[in-house]
Structure 1
Amino acid sequence: MTVPTSLGNEAVIPRAAHKGPLRREPLSGRVQFTYSTRFVSAKVQACPASYELLAGEDVAPAPGDVVIARISGIANHKRVETETSRKAIIYEGALVALAYGHRYAADQFLAHVPGNLGRCHLVAAGGVAGTVTQVHALIDAPTGIEPLGLLCDADGVVNLLGAAPYQNVPVAEAPVSRPEVIAMLGTSMNSGKSTVMSCLVNGLTNAGYRVGAGKVTGTGAGNDRMHYFDAGANEVIDFTDFGYATTFRLDYDAVRALTVNMVDVLSRGNDIVLIEIADGICQEETAALLRDDVFHHTVDQVGFAAVDALGARAGVDFLTAAGLKVGLVSGVLTSSPLAMAEAAALVAESGVPVIGTFDLTAAEVAKGLTTR
């Protein structure tokens, strides 16, 4: 979007945002909002004159705070996702609206919210800013950004929580009334969870179910959301709808509440609910969730995506020991008939079927996995 201004197409900031006294600067120039900041974009578009930039050496960003930043060194990320999840090419000097967030991505970055408005990184194409501290060996260095200031209005700094359509109200119990809920888990990032879930959404839709699909944890990005819609889901939401750019390092009570609240929202008007839990079962928030009685009473069964046979066996054993019903194994390993056969042999005594990812699109296969 373009913010109307008399100052031309470039924001004018007299000094680095993390230096000098506390101050407000005009919001000006052409700013590309992103998937994670889409709800804020709508508010700014409605009344751009109400917004400014807050800068100064005492300004410390918090997770979810919206920052206007200039691209200053394109590397790993060469595009950002727009509000509609279009992949927009970024150029040196372009202004983007991002949200600060911690990121945990074993195949990409470990990143944290910095303590000031100094130069940092674009840590996710969905529109997340942070300071990268670890990089996967096969990934390029992160794209650099120069923060110009935190977006603010008359009430103070703009945070995603204030613009989100849903509130993550505190809850300590499972939903009282809900349809069947299946949670999709995996060995790790890129184990095939989203593809498996999309195929299961499609199969259940083909079987006549109205499917509600959600992504409970992870890093803000529209890819998975769009996959679920493409697969035929009746309704799709994710954690960004509750005001979170990422869920890494989120207070655990909030993670539990997010799971329950998302299932509650998706239970209205749908016959079955599918939710994806990001990353692998060893990731901190995920591991805690799997041990939680509230989670156990919120889902009926879990599906498990694995990259190889040993991962499939370990995952089934781990989840079963945690007291969860494992309904299927699928994922990247099903690309290989040999790996499928190995996995089937390893989990045979558990009675859990190993199903080809795209076989889940068949109505009879998907319906056969339901328990109600």
Structure 2
Amino acid sequence: MMKSRIKIGMVCHGIRPMELISIDELEPNFTLKAGDVGLFMVTEIGKNKMIQTVSRSATLIPGDLIMGAFGNRYATNQFEGYIPDDLKGEFHMLGGAGVIGEVKSMHQRLDEIGPTKVELVGLYTDERGQISNTISQKEQKLIPFTGDLAKRTKVVLSLGSAMDSGKTTTAAFLINGLTKKGHTAAYIKLTGTAYPKDANLAFDLGACEAIDFSRYGYPSTYLVSEEKLLSLYETLLRDVLKKRPDYVIIEIADGILQRETKMLLKNPKFMSSIHQVVFSAGDSLSAVNGVQTLKSWGIQATALAGLFTASPLLVQEVRECLDENNDHSYLPILNLEQLSMGEFPDYLRTMQLLSA
């Protein structure tokens, strides 16, 4: 087996495995943890036809050897998957960066193709002889949450009604507009499943720094504790503040009802560190109901954006509904062109005048 031919998933970046051990060599009571690193053989190609390495996307074919890390995933338009209890049998690629687990459910559109299937060849050990783990090798670098760092910039949350509602694109075009207005803006993806596409888009559109949770070894943030999420937020914020950005755009994956997203939004200490909230939605009903749900949690959206803004009729529906409630009559609806032209800071000034 040639080590040079192993395709290493991005989630394992920086891992220096010492030895590969088989399942039979493990302790009888061994239990997998998020971040445990293994060598896998691809047995069947499904949804993931490539694996994202540090430098590029590498094509997969049956028989390929890949290095990946076990993790959980919550993705309403793709897979729900978990770290397996049994090390034997068939596993699945939950994410293109090399996140491995067992699929519990999937979106109906994936029923025919299914996930890419893999078999575990063995687990890697580290220099201490322990199972190599992406999280344990980096989480000691996390700092406790205080909320103080957010006072050095303006933190803007990019939230969405659901997966693929447009929040990533909103965040990136917001950054583009801010840079055109002479501001500096950094991007952080705080929750989700490891993959570089979102951070890359933000960087391409002008972010002075664009990073995500995988920097500290997390294959995903699904089922991570609230305390760890807050520490991750503080640490990632510390990292981007080295660039001294005027704004930091934080994207939280999936919709506002998802576990980690809802957990953060209902945390008073986290929300007290947030300057503004931009809410993206896929249609008019989710836009209106999303604003109302956030308000019921004590959160006032600053602007609406997302996929629905591509349709003038949907925008009209939302505006008519919001105008019926004087509390939301001022709420701006920004399409991608308006975000990219830098209109968001102008609305911030308007909001401040209205609240003065």
> What's the TM-score, normalizing by structure 2?
0.90
Match of 2:294 in 1: 319
Match of 2:46 in 1: 75
Letter aligned with residue 101 of structure 1:
G
Does residue 154 in structure 1 map to residue 122 in structure 2?
no
Match of 1:209 in 2: 183
Is the CA contact (8 Å cut-off) linking 1:51 and 1:153 kept in structure 2?
A: yes
Deviation, structure 1 residue 370: 4.0
CA–CA separation in structure 1 for the residues paired with 2:135 and 2:249: 24
Deviation, structure 1 residue 126: 1.6
Letter aligned with residue 144 of structure 1:
K
Match of 2:305 in 1: 330
5+ residue gaps, structure 1: 1-7, 10-27, 45-49
Letter aligned with residue 123 of structure 2:
L
Report the more deviating stretch, 229-238 or 354-363: 354-363
Is the CA contact (8 Å cut-off) linking 1:54 and 1:152 kept in structure 2?
A: no
Match of 1:102 in 2: 72
Give the SS at the match of 2:337: helix
Give the SS at the match of 2:165: coil
Deviation, structure 1 residue 172: 5.2
Give the superposed CA RMSD.
1.9
Deviation, structure 1 residue 160: 1.1
CA–CA separation in structure 1 for the residues paired with 2:180 and 2:344: 9
Q: Of the candidates 257, 261, 264, which is equivalent to residue 289 of structure 1? A: 264
Report the more deviating stretch, 354-363 or 236-245: 354-363
Q: Of the candidates 23, 26, 31, which is equivalent to residue 6 of structure 2? A: 31
Report the more deviating stretch, 165-174 or 227-236: 165-174
CA–CA separation in structure 2 for the residues paired with 1:370 and 1:38: 39
Match of 1:354 in 2: 333
Match of 1:368 in 2: 346
Give the SS at the match of 2:10: coil
Deviation, structure 1 residue 165: 8.8
Give the SS at the match of 2:109: coil
Is the CA contact (8 Å cut-off) linking 2:203 and 2:209 kept in structure 1?
A: yes
Is the CA contact (8 Å cut-off) linking 2:304 and 2:333 kept in structure 1?
A: yes
Is the CA contact (8 Å cut-off) linking 1:192 and 1:332 kept in structure 2?
A: yes
Deviation, structure 1 residue 54: 4.9
Count of equivalent residues: 338
Deviation, structure 1 residue 368: 1.5
CA–CA separation in structure 1 for the residues paired with 2:306 and 2:63: 40
Is the CA contact (8 Å cut-off) linking 1:213 and 1:275 kept in structure 2?
A: yes
Match of 1:4 in 2: none
Is the CA contact (8 Å cut-off) linking 2:276 and 2:301 kept in structure 1?
A: yes
Letter aligned with residue 68 of structure 1:
L
Change beyond 3 A, Cα 1:203–1:188: same
Change beyond 3 A, Cα 1:101–1:287: same
Does residue 138 in structure 1 map to residue 109 in structure 2?
yes
Match of 1:260 in 2: 234
Does residue 122 in structure 1 map to residue 93 in structure 2?
yes
5+ residue gaps, structure 2: none
Q: Which one has a larger percent helix, Structure 1 or Structure 2? A: 2
Letter aligned with residue 355 of structure 1:
L
Change beyond 3 A, Cα 1:304–1:225: same
CA–CA separation in structure 2 for the residues paired with 1:81 and 1:143: 14
Give the SS at the match of 2:273: coil
CA–CA separation in structure 1 for the residues paired with 2:72 and 2:146: 25
Change beyond 3 A, Cα 1:70–1:329: same
Does residue 65 in structure 1 map to residue 36 in structure 2?
yes
Is the CA contact (8 Å cut-off) linking 1:260 and 1:298 kept in structure 2?
A: no
> What's the TM-score, normalizing by structure 1?
0.86
Q: Of the candidates 289, 292, 303, which is equivalent to residue 278 of structure 2? A: 303
Does residue 111 in structure 1 map to residue 89 in structure 2?
no
